[in-house]
């Protein structure tokens, strides 16, 4: 279980970093999305990995999982969705305005 | 519990949506309400500054929940100072934007400005690391809107870069926070300070990783080398008044560094020791060097001022990296100075490039309207930014030099003094191209330009604030020394986070 969670976070982070180092906005956005998935799982795991325990008070519960990380990850998801929407709109606007989807500011090679 | 503490966050949070919903077609009403909001924020900040001077730290418990469980806002001298500084700068920016019609070149300028102020004020007030992240995002998303205000292809391209860089920064911030939480089980600053100081031996490595990750995040915000790449393009292509407002946004990085690394990771912490000072100091020195080289080599006016902003962050972080009360007091003085000077310089630079219709420094153009007056303003701004007497930049640098006596002083002193010289040369070169050589080039019919008394008032106001900072340097440094001493003795801050007796919900 721990191995699975850890390697999932690691793989997603690696893929995300590879993608944000590319030159085109589309792959950069995919990379950012990948990184935000990784960080969401990471936040979730920082409250320790527990299986089958409730995060809210319950009379039948034998133990609890950390509720705070679930609240944190909810906020993080909402914010990263909003931010992804913003950058998608911006990238689209930039593409329609400049005719290029390169993310760097180099003026050469602008015409595709 | 002082209910005014939450006003700097709640007021723009209510006013901005109200403005957007009810007066989206009426620019005049937006201007009136936007100005009223900023003035009210200035008044509240002044009141909080007075109240923070009297008490060591005042805590606002949201929903009256006790501290480690509920979210708290903490008002101390440092956060009150930053609130005041933000409000002053915002007022100047808003006056300038109204006077030069910047707010007509796109929609919702005043609404976005208020949201930006909400994020800034919240970031300065919060006493909780996750809320710091949330307010960072609020101020960033407003800044994305402001950055592309007015449109245009260069601005959009620079905007995409800026957003992408900051999204990576936000991701890093979350990784850092999750690591801190997994080690300590809390994200409240005061609670963290207690828990990190008494950390078991085995967790030391993990908290060091978290601390360095956090430092990277604040370095992105503060444009420290090697994480400064977003700044030159962003500031050079952002609308002039927005770039001026961003002068306080880099200071958020400095503020967060001061807050976290004096409160949670002071140099006496067994797990981390002086690790962060050792990372921060070389980075700050190189930042200063890169900044002034950029000033010297800039081809456009916008980039010149952007690199001057990077250089000022370098100087500020040198003072912070010393982690002594004396150096921090000097650094805070320089922080006030560089925010006001940076804001003024960006506004002056916008005046020049707006009238010249070309901000390249490679060729001289005929004199611009109001040539002499703007030339004099540029001179004053350049003196302030380069840290020459008689303005407060000189005093700030002098205080920093005085505070960094001791081992390693040869390096720090020579970097600060040499970079001051280089930046004077850079500004002199730009000034001579813009204002002296202009008389030699072929005279043309002067284009008519509207007088804009308000925008001059905004710039003169910022310069007058700098002058006041110079004249009242004695009382100001005295106040800042008490502030810095309070930051290095966080017992009062930590005590304030316990709920007063009888305050149970």
B474: closest CA among B333, B358, B364?
B333
Which site among A79, A91, A108 would you substitute to test the B interface, given the most B Cβ atoms closer than 10 Å to its Cβ? Answer: A79
B chain contacts of residue A79, beta-carbon cutoff 8 Å: 134, 137, 170
The span from the CA of B86 to the CA of B91, in Å, is 9
Question: How many C-beta atoms surround the C-beta of residue A48 within 10 A?
Answer: 11
C-beta separation of B400 from B331 below 8 A: yes
> Residue B424 phi/psi, 5° resolution?
-60, -45
Instruction: Measure CA of the first residue to CA of the last residue in chain B; give whole Å.
Output: 13
Joined tokens for residue B362: 């490679």
> Residue B110 phi/psi, 5° resolution?
-70, -35
> Residue A102 phi/psi, 5° resolution?
-75, 145
> Residue B389 phi/psi, 5° resolution?
-65, 150
Say yes or no: B170 contacts chain A, CB-CB below 8 A: yes
C-beta separation of B15 from B23 below 8 A: no
Joined tokens for residue B416: 């600060």
C-beta separation of A13 from A35 below 8 A: yes
Do the strands B72-76 and B57-61 form a parallel or antiparallel pair, or are they unpaired?
antiparallel
Q: Which of B156, B163, B168 is closest, CB to CB, to A86? A: B163
Among the listed ranges B5-19, B318-332, B349-363, which one has the minimum average pLDDT value?
B349-363
Q: What share of chain B is helix, strand, coil (3-state, %, to 5)?
A: 75, 5, 20
Instruction: State the burial class of residue A42 (Cβ atoms within 10 Å of its Cβ: 0-12, 13-18, 19+).
Output: buried
Residues A34-66 pLDDT 10s = 999 999 999 999 888 888 888 888 888 888 888
Q: Which of A46, A84, A91 is closest, CB to CB, to B178? A: A46
B chain contacts of residue A94, beta-carbon cutoff 8 Å: 153, 156-157, 159-160
Beta-carbon separation of B171 and A32 below 8 A? yes
Helices and strands in chain A, H and E counts: 3, 0
B323-348 average pLDDT score: 93
Residues B401-455 pLDDT 10s = 999 888 888 899 999 999 999 999 999 999 888 888 877 776 666 666 777 888 8
Instruction: State the burial class of residue B217 (Cβ atoms within 10 Å of its Cβ: 0-12, 13-18, 19+).
Output: buried
Give pLDDT, residue B448.
67
DSSP labels, A70-96:
HHHHHHHHHHHHHHHHHHHHHHHHHHH
Beta-carbon separation of A83 and B159 below 8 A? no
Cα angle for residues A40, A43, A46 (degrees, 5° grid): 150
Joined tokens for residue B176: 């850092």
The span from the CA of B129 to the CA of B185, in Å, is 12
B415: closest CA among B304, B295, B318?
B318
Give pLDDT, residue B445.
62
Among the listed ranges A56-65, A73-82, B236-245, B320-329, which one has the minimum average pLDDT value?
A56-65
Beta-carbon separation of A97 and B182 below 8 A? no
Beta-carbon separation of B144 and A76 below 8 A? no
Give pLDDT, residue A107.
57
Residues B127-165 pLDDT 10s = 999 999 999 999 999 999 999 888 888 888 888 889 999
B242: closest CA among B381, B109, B45, B86?
B109
The span from the CA of B332 to the CA of B313, in Å, is 12
pTM across the whole model: 0.92
Percent of chain A at pLDDT > 90 equals 50
The span from the CA of B349 to the CA of A24, in Å, is 32
Burial A59-68 (b: 16+ CB within 10 A, else e): eeeeeebbeb
C-beta separation of B317 from B224 below 8 A: yes
Question: What sign has the CA pseudo-torsion B247, B142, B211, B62?
Answer: positive
Which residue in B has a C-alpha nearest to residue A93's C-alpha? B156
How many CA atoms lie within 13 Å of A83's alpha carbon, on the beta-carbon side? 30
Beta-carbon separation of B137 and A83 below 8 A? yes
- A15 CB-near residues (< 8 Å, 6+ apart): A31, A34
Say yes or no: A21 contacts chain B, CB-CB below 8 A: no
C-beta separation of B404 from B396 below 8 A: no
B261: closest CA among B342, B175, B319, B183?
B319
Residues B272-309 pLDDT 10s = 888 888 899 999 999 999 999 999 988 889 899 999 99
Local structure of B316: helix, strand or coil = helix
Give pLDDT, residue B397.
92
Instruction: State the burial class of residue B38 (Cβ atoms within 10 Å of its Cβ: 0-12, 13-18, 19+).
Output: buried
Question: How many C-beta atoms surround the C-beta of residue B101 within 10 A?
Answer: 12
The alpha carbon of residue B425 and the mean position of all alpha carbons in its chain are separated, in whole angstroms, by: 25
- Tokens 């002071």 belong to B266
The span from the CA of A87 to the CA of B300, in Å, is 27
Say yes or no: A63 contacts chain B, CB-CB below 8 A: no
B262-267 average pLDDT score: 89
């Amino acid at each position: 279980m721990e191995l699975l969670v850890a390697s999932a976070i690691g793989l997603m982070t690696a893929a995300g970093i590879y993608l944000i180092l590319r030159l085109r906005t589309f792959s950069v956005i995919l990379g950012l999305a990948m990184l935000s998935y990784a960080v969401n799982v990471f936040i979730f795991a920082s409250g320790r990995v527990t299986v089958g325990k409730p995060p809210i008070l319950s009379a039948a519960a034998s133990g609890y999982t950390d509720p705070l990380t679930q609240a944190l990850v909810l906020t993080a998801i909402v914010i990263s969705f909003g931010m992804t929407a913003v950058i998608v709109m911006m990238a689209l606007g930039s593409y329609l305005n400049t005719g290029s989807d390169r993310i760097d500011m180099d003026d050469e090679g602008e015409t595709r | 519990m002082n209910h005014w503490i939450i006003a700097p966050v709640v007021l723009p949070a209510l006013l901005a949506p109200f403005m957007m919903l009810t007066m989206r077609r009426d620019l005049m009403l937006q201007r009136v309400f936007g100005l009223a909001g900023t003035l009210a924020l200035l008044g509240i900040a002044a009141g909080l500054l007075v109240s923070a001077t009297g008490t060591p730290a005042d805590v606002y418990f949201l929903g009256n929940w006790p501290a480690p469980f509920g979210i708290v806002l903490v008002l101390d001298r440092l956060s009150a100072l930053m609130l005041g500084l933000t409000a002053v700068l915002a007022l100047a920016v808003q006056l300038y934007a109204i006077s030069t019609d910047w707010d007509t070149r796109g929609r919702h300028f005043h609404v976005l400005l208020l949201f930006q102020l909400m994020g800034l004020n919240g970031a300065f007030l919060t006493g909780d690391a996750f809320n710091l992240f949330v307010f960072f995002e609020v101020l960033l998303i407003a800044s994305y809107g402001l950055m592309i205000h007015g449109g245009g292809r260069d601005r959009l391209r620079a905007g995409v870069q800026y957003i992408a860089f900051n999204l990576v920064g936000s991701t890093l911030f979350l990784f850092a926070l999750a690591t801190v939480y997994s080690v300590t089980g809390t994200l409240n600053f005061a609670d963290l300070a207690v828990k990190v100081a008494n950390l078991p031996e085995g967790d030391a490595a993990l908290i060091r990783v978290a601390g360095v990750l956090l430092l990277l995040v604040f370095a992105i915000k503060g444009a420290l080398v090697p994480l400064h790449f977003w700044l030159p393009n962003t500031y050079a292509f952002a609308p002039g008044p927005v770039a001026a407002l961003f002068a306080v946004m880099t200071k958020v990085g400095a503020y967060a560094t001061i807050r976290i690394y004096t409160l949670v990771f002071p140099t006496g912490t067994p797990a981390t020791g002086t690790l962060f000072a050792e990372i921060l100091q070389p980075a700050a020195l190189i930042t200063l060097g890169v900044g002034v080289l950029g000033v010297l080599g800039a081809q456009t006016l916008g980039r010149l001022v952007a690199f001057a902003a990077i250089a000022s962050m370098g100087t500020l972080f040198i003072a912070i990296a010393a982690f002594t009360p004396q150096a921090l007091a000097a650094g805070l003085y320089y922080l006030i100075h560089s925010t006001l000077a940076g804001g003024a310089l960006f506004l002056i630079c916008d005046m020049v490039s707006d009238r010249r219709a070309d901000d390249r420094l490679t060729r001289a153009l005929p004199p611009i309207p109001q040539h002499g007056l703007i030339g004099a303003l540029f001179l004053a701004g350049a003196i302030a930014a380069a840290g020459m007497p008689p303005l407060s930049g000189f005093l700030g640098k002098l205080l920093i030099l005085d505070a960094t006596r001791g081992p390693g002083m040869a390096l720090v002193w020579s970097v600060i003094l040499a970079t001051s010289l280089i930046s004077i040369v850079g500004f002199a070169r730009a000034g001579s191209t813009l204002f002296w050589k202009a008389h030699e080039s072929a005279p043309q019919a002067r284009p008519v330009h509207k007088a804009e008394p308000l925008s001059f008032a905004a710039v003169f106001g910022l310069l007058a604030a700098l002058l006041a900072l110079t004249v009242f340097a004695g009382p100001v440094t005295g106040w800042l020394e008490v502030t810095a001493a309070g930051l290095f003795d966080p017992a009062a801050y930590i005590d304030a986070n316990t709920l007063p007796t009888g305050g149970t919900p």
